[in-house]
Amino acid sequence: MKKPFVMVITLAMIALTVSACWNPSVTAVPITAPWDKMDLPVKDNAIVWESSANKLKVALKADKMAVGEAFVKALEKNGWKLSAQPDLRETSHFYEFEKAGAKAKLEVYDFQNTGVILELE
């Protein structure tokens, strides 16, 4: 009786330790304009690894669905509207937005948990 209990506790400890060790193989860079003013979900459990005037790349610890929802919500708060039905594929989710004649594309994909590429066109 004691042996199964010890095994369950040991496996739980290993799972917690492994999940706490999220460390993507990218180098963090500062977030730049225009992204820094958009209150995107890149503060917690996220590493910005490319930031330019028209492209943002981020690695995030959360799953694709949660990351996609968080980015869509943040972009909509900034006045962007979904301009097409999201394309939800197994390994990538694609979103298209419009705002005052400008266009943006968001890709949320499998990348050391979840990766994001946000581009202005």
User: What's the pLDDT tens digit per position in 71-95?
Assistant: 999 999 999 999 999 999 999 999 9
Token code pair at residue 83: 């301009």
Average pLDDT score over residue span 92-116: 97
pLDDT (tens digit, 9 = 90+) per residue, 1-16?
566 555 445 444 444 4
pTM of the model: 0.81
Sign of dihedral through CA atoms 36, 39, 41, 46? positive
6 falls within a domain = no
**Three-state DSSP state, 9:** helix
The residue range of the domain holding 49 is 26-120
Sign of dihedral through CA atoms 20, 41, 35, 116? positive
Q: Look at residue 22 in the predicted model and tell me its pLDDT.
A: 87
pLDDT (tens digit, 9 = 90+) per residue, 28-49?
999 999 999 999 999 999 999 9
13 falls within a domain = no
Domain count, the chain: 1
